[in-house]
Structure 1
Amino acid sequence: MSNLAPALLSALAILQAGPATTPPPNPSEGNTVESLVVTAPAKTDKEQITSFVSSVTATGSDKRVGRWDRKICPGVIGLKPAYAQVLLDRIAANAQAVGLEVGKPGCKADILIVASADTDALVRQAVKDNPDTFAKYEDGVSRGKKALQAFIDSQAPVRWWHVSSRKLSDGQTYVQGANVRVRSVGRVNANTRVDFDHVVIVLDARRVGVVRFSALADYVAMVSLAQINPDADTKGVSSILNLFTDKAAGVEPVEGMTDWDRAYLRGLYTARRDVRRGDRQEADVARSMGTTLAPPPKPEPKDEAEPKSEREKPDRSGR
């Protein structure tokens, strides 16, 4: 499964011939909700960072954390070209910030973003017609059947589904049950790793409502580059993941990814990949975030007693 199945693309292409979707707001337009002041937690709070990482990270059925390997190719269906380009540009910018390459125009999409005014029917039909694309009957490459059903039933403005490929720790693809040669075996390191194969992200135009398009684009970029827990509790943290909960609460949402979001992605893409347990990866992410978010050291105070110039130095003769 190196790319999204052509069958899925054909199934989703009915959007282009179907009812027109509600156009997203102009990037310069914002919410009309009343602004409130939100105090973010201290950036050096280790416990807060650890809680954030634990809450937002969704692991696969093997309880390990996945990520993209080297290169991505995002594609958009159902948005006007101008909006689609803004979305693609934001994903590309955030991907490049963590060291990923972005495929050239015409590449085969492995990140497919679909916008529609009737996502419920769309998702049900897409999963029914393309079970292999959603790994419906394959264990170990997604969050599992229960999570897939939650994805199908979701009423969220944006929903996402990641499918991984089977890779050895050196990046070699393997087939489950096949004999493979491994370099070493250990109690800490694993012989395999979790690389994303593709992700499907669905935007419901009616549920998204009126938000800054720049914020929506960064929200989509965040859930494109990381497998985020859709039920994550990020209250009290300044994060793009609060976009829709803030809006519902009457709080002015952030305009894009925050320092916390960027630090999380940076930590994810520098964490160890060949470990047996996902909690070790989460610890790597938390440590990286703690370093990234730590305030710069304060400059050392100058010694006022020290002479500032040759003229101010005392006369050694005692005069």
Structure 2
Amino acid sequence: MLPSLLLAQTEGEPPPSGNGEIVVTGKVPELPTEREVVRQARQVTQSTGIRHAPLPRFDGDRLCPGVMGLKADFAGLVIDRIRANAERFGLWMTDDDGSCTPNFVVAFVDDGQAILQEIADGRYWLFKDMARHERIEMLADDGPAHVWTTTQTRSRDGMPLPLGPDGRQVKADAGGGVARTSIRVREDITGVTILFDRDDVRDKTLVQLADYATMRGLARTRPVDGDGQVMDTILALFDANVTPPPEMTAFDNAYLGALYASKSNQTGLTTILGVKRELRQQATAETAAAEE
């Protein structure tokens, strides 16, 4: 349904400027403190219940990236980059033969906010399982990138839970006032649509856009200002006041590494506390590789 809404805005468009090359810069910086890492990880996480609910992630569904609005060669580069990123974190992938139905859609459009508003006006039921404040925030976002994520609450073994009395999905939440390290259910991402406003991304490389999509799509994250972060992150790609990183950073890799290395029913706070450990492991591995 969504691809048909996007098609009119995406056919025959040239790619953003930039050749998509990966730039390797410098050496691994000294690691920040655990408190600084946890603070930044919480700032980029789009969740208000991390003490009592798991962070959403792709788990029970194979990942199939798709791109609209770019010429085939350039779309293929973005898809390959997203697939390579996902495979590094151990995601369950579809065969790379072009036969799957995309559940991770990246589209380059004229006005992503207008597309989402059109869906909200004419097909409002597609947003029925979104929390009201999340829907309002998504529709009000006038930035260059717009992310619509659908999730399903499942048992920790992957079985879908029954709908609530109002016909909506039951959300993963331990309830009560006591924080736990894990609960009996998990929150699986079942689909992601990322809309880039093409006029606002022409100065970005394909690698930057694919990595930004990876960081926004494989987890429920939010964009941030680069000046307020102790570590670089691709989530600051559209901050006009800083020079954005050329690709996903050590922090980004550690964040997704912690998310996908954790148990699927682990509470979000427990996962976030593991980002520092992932950073340390990355630094150790890079040091060992440099000494070989």
Under TM normalisation by the shorter chain, which class is it? 0.7 to 0.9
Alpha-carbon offset, residue 218 of structure 1: 1.2
Query: Match of 2:99, SS?
Result: coil
Residue 242 of structure 1: how far off its partner (Å): 1.9
In terms of mean alpha carbon deviation, does 262-271 or 222-231 score higher? 222-231
CA contact (8 A) 2:255 2:272 kept: no
Q: CA RMSD in A?
A: 3.1
In structure 2, C-alpha distance between the alignment counterparts of 1:57 and 1:228, rounded to whole Å: 5
1:278 and 2:268 matched: yes
2:225 maps to 1:203: no
May I ask how many residue pairs the two structures share in their alignment? 267
What is the CA-CA distance between 1:108 and the residue it aligns to?
A: 1.5
- Report what 1:150 is aligned to: 137
- Counterpart code for 1:86: L
Letter in 2 for 1:129: G
Identity between Structure 1 and Structure 2 (%)? 25
Task: Determine if contact 2:15/2:202 at 8 Å carries over to the other structure.
Answer: no
Correspondence 1:217-256 to 2 at 5 A: 217-231=210-224, 235-245=229-239, 248-249=240-241, 251-256=242-247
d(CA) in 2 for partners of 1:89, 1:294: 28
The one-letter code sitting in structure 2 at the alignment partner of 1:43 is L
Distance 1:40 1:146, change over 3 A: farther
Find the counterpart in structure 2 of residue 101 from structure 1. Answer: 92
| Structure 2 segments unaligned to the other structure (5+ residues) | 166-177
Aligned with 1:126 (options 119, 135, 139): 119
Q: What is aligned with 1:305? A: none
Q: 1:118/1:270 Cα in 2 relative to 1: closer, same or farther (>3 Å)? A: same
For residues 5-56 of structure 1, give each alpha carbon's deviation from its aligned partner in whole angstroms, at most 9, with x where no partner exists: xx22322223246xx65641131599xxxxxx99997315212211121111
Q: 1:287 aligns to what?
A: 277
Stretches of structure 1 that go unaligned for 5 or more consecutive residues are: 1-6, 31-36, 179-185, 299-319
TM-superposed deviation, 1:80: 1.5
* TM superposition shift of 1:232: 6.8
Deviates more, 1:105-114 or 1:251-260: 251-260
TM-score, normalised to structure 1, is: 0.73
Out of 58, 70, 74, the position equivalent to 1:68 is 58
The answer to whether the 8 Å contact 2:64/2:100 transfers is yes
Shift of residue 209, structure 1, vs aligned partner: 3.5
Tell me if the contact between 1:60 and 1:66 (Cα under 8 Å) persists in the aligned partners: no
Q: Deviations over 1:92-119 (max 9, x none)?
A: 0000000013223121111111211222
User: TM-score under structure 2 normalisation?
Assistant: 0.79
1:42 aligns with 2:22: no
Alignment partner, residue 68 of structure 2: 77
Determine if the alignment matches structure 1 residue 91 to structure 2 residue 105.
Answer: no
The equivalent of 2:107 in structure 1 is 114
